[in-house]
């Protein structure tokens, strides 16, 4: 299968270059490879001219204004400022042709979105930036952007008032006469709260079961943080190196003969040696 | 040896000595170490030594008593312990280092020079003042300009005379600086501008205090906010139980002289559900409060005078579901020698604290903002109780985000089941309705 896929380009090349005159003396593979690598086209193909043409229809990017209200592009005001709601896309662009102004934000791909309900305005704000163009949304249709400097911001609450319902205390006993929750008391264990389920069984809440681990006092991780672990490892290594250094020093002080080299033997080998000694 | 180690060395030595002494004591009296420690601590708690009554050498356990007595401990705890170990040390300015003493001589000579210069300039000012306006070359305007620039120069020289003195710097850092003197005010302002001023200006812009409440605000005094003895950073969210009582302000002025100030606390985020906006509410107004660079404490709860307190403290509260409320505290400077008519303030604002405008207050009473601090308030567990205690309505109302409906019309639903919802397909209802995990209460819904 893999070899088939690998050969695919050659097949394509063959079909594409059917008109190419193949020199019989050279091996076919080499010839094809050359023409592919260098991108050669022979005169007969070039004379047709078609392969050099750029495609007239690319994939449209569909950029530009999705909501109007642009006095720069539309100075006679043939189109009204369009009404938008939060999240609406106002402008799609590559790069920042337009910047987000009043009540607008810019998305990851430079798209300008509305952040409030209102009317789209396209404007410049030299006080903010000398040559940026902004898109803004105003609450009133007649408002003009930018708002005067030092004027209070125009804000909307965007909330409605509702009465807070007082919490109804849940009865202790269910309509079927059994309690909604019971406490299981076991000696030497923390008390467990069991609740009545839909299937009339009593079971502990899953989140409470999760909390039980904390009551055991078990230490699952030796180190609380990764940093602590690495510090421990560093110190351990330092201790090891220090110990090795000291051992080497001691060896040097005592001399070569004092050190008895003990060859490390496995348990099995030790047993064998013992047996052999006994014999 | 690092700087920190070198500083800590006397302390460490002291501790070593003490532990050795303790060991000796243990051996001689044959008591356990824990008993020994307990005995030592109780004995120490009972009787402070004269060193513990001195703010320069007080130990941490006697700090509270000293503060209550009205003396603030000086310097760090580490330094205090180090000083205890060596009580008879030479004063800083007499340290026997040749280069140090030579440098001090140079600084002293420079100071003499500056003082001579000040004298000269003061004489010059007196001479100019003696000349009549019409006689002065350039007229009265020129004379005023000249005098102003000379006075500014004298102030500059006063600071330059002391700015290199290490003893002055030390006194400032120990909190012993006399704020009546220009050099300490200069140091205090420099310190404030290095961080706190930047922080407060950032809060003013990032919380939109400037266009929302007043059009312009340049703070020129250090204002710190304390609730229940604890300092609150500007813009911090404060629990409604904590902000039920008025805060204490610590105001450090940097220009000389006593003046009268007005304190106004404004909440610009009161929800106005009918009009779908916000309005401002005044939480506190007090006027004619004398302040000077030396007295810094301004507890709002202690201001009770009839010609001072206009509107008593209204606790900060936010209704459930409303966005955070900014509680902006403004200090406004009154014109020199002018008093605000508190009766008029009461008449204007006591009936309704709502729809308050600081801008109009400013123009009505001719005051200028110079200090600012703020905190924030949100709905929390204690808010309902606080509102009930102060008779504030609205604790039973919750604000919920208003739904914004899509501009698009309803979409015709697609799919095998959607097509077979009608009575024509009654025989298939067992398959197209009551599908597990899918609510069909409002007609056929799109599968997510």
CA dihedral A259, A261, A267, A272 (to 10 degrees): -120
| Residue B295, token pair as written in the block | 């007295």
Residue A68 and residue A48 share a domain: no
Q: Tell me: pLDDT of B257 over 80.
A: yes
Average pLDDT, chain A: 83
A6 within some domain: yes
Question: Which strands, in side-by-side order, build the sheet including A83-84?
Answer: A83-84, A118-124, A133-138, A99-100
Residue A133 and residue A68 share a domain: yes
Average pLDDT, chain B: 87
Residue A78 and residue A134 share a domain: yes
In this complex, the residue of A150, A159, A164 whose CB is nearest that of residue B402 is A159
Summarised one tens digit per residue, pLDDT across range B409-432 is 877 778 888 888 889 999 999 988
Residue A68 and residue A14 share a domain: no
Q: Tell me: pLDDT of B390 over 80.
A: yes
A214 within some domain: yes
Q: Tell me: pLDDT of B75 over 90.
A: no
Helix (H, G, I), strand (E, B) or coil at B162: helix
Q: What is the average per-residue pLDDT within B157-177?
A: 92
A155 within some domain: no
Could A163 and B397 be called an inter-chain contact, meaning their C-beta atoms sit closer than 8 Å?
yes
| Residue A213, token pair as written in the block | 């681990």
A221 within some domain: yes
Task: Output the pLDDT for position B162.
Answer: 94
Task: Output the pLDDT for position A137.
Answer: 95
* Mutation for testing the B interface, residue in A139, A147, A152, A162 having most B CBs under 10 Å: A152
Positions of chain A with pLDDT lower than 50, given as ranges: 1-7, 9-23
CA B267 to centroid of chain Cα atoms: 18
The DSSP string of chain A is: -HHHHHHHHHHHHHHHTTTSPPPSSS-HHHHHHHHHHHT---HHHHTT-GGGSPPS-------EESS---TTT-TT--SPPPEE-TT-EEEE-SS-SSEE-TTEEE-TTS-EEE-SSEEEEEEE-TTT-SS-EEEEEESSTT--SSPPTTPPPP----EEEEEPPPPPPPPSB-TTSSBSEEEE--TTS--EEEEE-TTS-EEE-HHHHHHHHHHHT----SSSSHHHHHHHHHHHHHHHHHHHHHHHHHHHHH-TTTPPPPPP--HHHHHHHHHHHH-
A160 CB neighbours in chain B (<8 A) are 273, 399-400, 402
A48 within some domain: yes
Q: What is the average per-residue pLDDT within B83-110?
A: 88
Residue A81 and residue A42 share a domain: no
B398 CB neighbours in chain A (<8 A) are 161-164
Task: Output the pLDDT for position B196.
Answer: 96
Summarised one tens digit per residue, pLDDT across range A79-111 is 678 899 999 999 999 999 999 999 999 999 999
Residue A23 and residue A70 share a domain: no
Summarised one tens digit per residue, pLDDT across range B3-55 is 555 555 555 555 455 444 444 444 444 434 444 444 444 444 557 788 888 88
| Overall domain count for chain A | 3
Is residue B379 classed exposed, middle or buried when 0-12, 13-18 and 19+ CB atoms within 10 A define those classes?
A: buried
Residue A81 and residue A40 share a domain: no
| Residue B61, token pair as written in the block | 């356990």
B360 CB neighbours in chain A (<8 A) are none
Task: Output the pLDDT for position A162.
Answer: 95
A245 within some domain: no
Q: Per DSSP, what are the bridge partners of residue A122? A: A135
Residue A86 and residue A34 share a domain: no
A160 within some domain: no
Alpha carbon distance B43, B49 (integer Å)? 11
Place of tokens 């004619």: B288
Summarised one tens digit per residue, pLDDT across range B168-195 is 998 999 888 999 999 999 999 999 999 9
A257 within some domain: no
Task: Output the pLDDT for position A9.
Answer: 45
pLDDT tier, B198 (very low <50, low <70, confident <90, very high otherwise): very high
The answer to whether B271 and B322 are in contact (CB under 8 A) is yes
Task: Output the pLDDT for position B157.
Answer: 96
Residues 201-260 of A with CB under 8 A from B: none
A156 CB neighbours in chain B (<8 A) are 276-277
Could B406 and A85 be called an inter-chain contact, meaning their C-beta atoms sit closer than 8 Å?
yes
Helix (H, G, I), strand (E, B) or coil at B295: coil
Chain B, nearest residue to A148 by Cα: B211
Note down the domain range covering A195.
Answer: 178-237
Could B398 and A164 be called an inter-chain contact, meaning their C-beta atoms sit closer than 8 Å?
yes
B406 CB neighbours in chain A (<8 A) are 85
Could A155 and B278 be called an inter-chain contact, meaning their C-beta atoms sit closer than 8 Å?
yes
Could B402 and A152 be called an inter-chain contact, meaning their C-beta atoms sit closer than 8 Å?
no
Residue A69 and residue A129 share a domain: yes
Q: Residues of chain B whose C-beta is under 8 A from some C-beta in A? A: 208, 210-212, 215-216, 271-273, 276-278, 320-322, 396-402, 404-407
Task: Output the pLDDT for position B90.
Answer: 82
Tell me the CATH number at A127: 2.40.50.100
Task: Output the pLDDT for position A78.
Answer: 66
> Chain A closest CA to B353's CA: distance in Å?
19
A153 touches chain B (CB under 8 A): yes
Could B273 and A157 be called an inter-chain contact, meaning their C-beta atoms sit closer than 8 Å?
yes
Q: Tell me: pLDDT of B143 over 60.
A: yes
Q: How many cross-chain Cβ pairs, A to B, lie less than 8 Å apart?
A: 61
Could B399 and A159 be called an inter-chain contact, meaning their C-beta atoms sit closer than 8 Å?
yes
Residue A68 and residue A44 share a domain: no
pLDDT tier, B256 (very low <50, low <70, confident <90, very high otherwise): very high
What is the b/e burial string over A244-262, where b = at least 16 CB atoms within 10 angstroms of the residue's CB?
eeeeeeeeeeeeeeeeeee
A152 touches chain B (CB under 8 A): yes
DSSP B132: -
Task: Output the pLDDT for position B70.
Answer: 82
The DSSP string of B80-110 is: HHHHHH-TTPPPGGG---HHHHHHHHHHHHH
Place of tokens 């409906």: B405
């Amino acid at each position: 299968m893999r070899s088939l896929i690998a050969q695919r380009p050659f097949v394509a090349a063959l079909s594409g270059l059917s008109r190419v005159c193949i020199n019989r003396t050279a091996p076919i593979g080499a010839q094809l490879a050359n023409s592919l690598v260098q991108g050669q086209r022979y005169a007969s193909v070039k004379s047709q001219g078609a392969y050099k043409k750029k495609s007239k229809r690319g994939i449209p990017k569909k950029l530009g204004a999705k909501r109007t209200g642009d006095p720069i592009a539309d100075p006679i005001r043939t189109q009204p400022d369009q009404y938008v709601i939060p999240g609406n896309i106002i402008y799609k662009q590559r790069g920042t042709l337009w910047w987000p102004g009043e009540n607008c934000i810019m998305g990851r791909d430079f798209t300008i979105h509305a952040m409030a309900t209102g009317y789209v305005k396209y404007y410049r704000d030299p006080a903010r930036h000398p040559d940026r163009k902004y898109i803004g949304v105003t609450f009133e249709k007649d408002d003009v952007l930018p708002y005067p400097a030092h004027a209070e911001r125009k804000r909307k609450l965007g909330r409605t008032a509702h009465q807070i319902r007082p919490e109804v205390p849940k009865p202790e006993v269910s309509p079927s006469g059994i309690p909604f929750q019971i406490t299981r008391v076991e000696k030497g264990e923390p008390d467990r709260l069991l609740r009545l389920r839909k299937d009339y069984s009593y079971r502990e809440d899953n989140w409470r079961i999760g909390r039980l681990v904390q009551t055991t006092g078990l230490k699952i991780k030796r180190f609380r943080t990764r940093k602590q672990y690495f510090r421990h490892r560093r110190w351990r290594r330092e201790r090891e190196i220090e110990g090795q250094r000291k051992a080497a020093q001691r060896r040097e002080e005592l001399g070569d003969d004092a050190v008895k080299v003990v060859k490390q033997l496995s348990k099995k080998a030790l047993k064998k040696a013992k047996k052999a000694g006994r014999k | 040896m690092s700087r920190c180690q070198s500083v800590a060395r006397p302390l460490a030595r002291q501790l070593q000595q003490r532990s050795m002494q303790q060991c000796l004591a243990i051996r001689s009296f044959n008591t356990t170490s824990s008993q020994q420690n307990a005995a030592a601590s109780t004995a120490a708690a009972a009787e402070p030594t004269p060193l513990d009554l001195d703010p320069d050498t007080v130990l941490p356990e006697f700090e509270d008593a000293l503060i209550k007595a009205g003396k603030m401990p000086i310097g760090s705890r580490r330094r205090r312990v180090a000083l205890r170990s060596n009580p008879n040390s030479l004063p800083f300015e007499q340290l026997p280092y040749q280069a140090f003493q030579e440098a001090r001589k140079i600084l002293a000579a420079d100071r003499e020079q500056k003082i001579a210069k000040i004298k000269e300039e003061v004489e010059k000012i007196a001479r100019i003042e003696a000349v009549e306006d019409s006689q002065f070359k350039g007229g009265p305007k020129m004379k005023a300009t000249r005098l102003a620039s000379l006075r500014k120069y004298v102030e500059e020289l006063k600071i330059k005379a002391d700015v290199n003195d290490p003893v002055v710097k030390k006194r400032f850092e120990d909190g012993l600086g006399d704020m009546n003197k220009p050099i300490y005010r200069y140091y205090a302002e420099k310190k404030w501008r290095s961080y706190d001023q930047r922080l407060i200006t950032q809060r003013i812009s990032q919380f939109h205090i400037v266009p929302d409440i007043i059009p312009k605000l340049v703070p020129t005094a250090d204002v710190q906010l304390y609730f229940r003895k604890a300092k609150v950073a500007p813009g911090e969210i404060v629990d409604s139980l904590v902000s039920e009582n008025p805060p204490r302000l610590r105001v450090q002025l940097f220009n000389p002289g006593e003046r009268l100030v007005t304190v106004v606390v404004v909440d610009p985020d009161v929800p106005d559900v009918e009009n779908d906006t916000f309005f401002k509410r005044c939480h506190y107004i007090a006027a004619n409060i004398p302040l000077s660079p030396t007295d810094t404490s301004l507890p709002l709860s202690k201001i009770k005078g009839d010609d001072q307190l206009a509107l008593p403290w209204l606790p900060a509260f936010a209704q459930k579901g409303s966005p955070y409320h900014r509680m902006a505290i403004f200090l406004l400077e009154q014109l020199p020698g002018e008093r605000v008519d508190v009766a008029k303030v009461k008449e204007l604002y006591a009936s309704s604290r709502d729809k308050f405008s600081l801008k109009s207050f400013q123009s009505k009473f001719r005051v200028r903002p110079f200090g600012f601090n703020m905190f924030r308030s949100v709905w929390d567990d204690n808010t309902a109780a606080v509102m009930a205690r102060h008779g504030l309505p609205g604790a039973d109302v919750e604000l919920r985000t208003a739904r914004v409906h899509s501009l698009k019309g309803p979409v015709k639903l697609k799919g095998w089941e959607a097509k077979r919802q009608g009575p024509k397909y009654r025989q298939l209802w067992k398959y197209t309705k009551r599908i597990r995990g899918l609510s069909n209460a409002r007609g056929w819904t799109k599968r997510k």
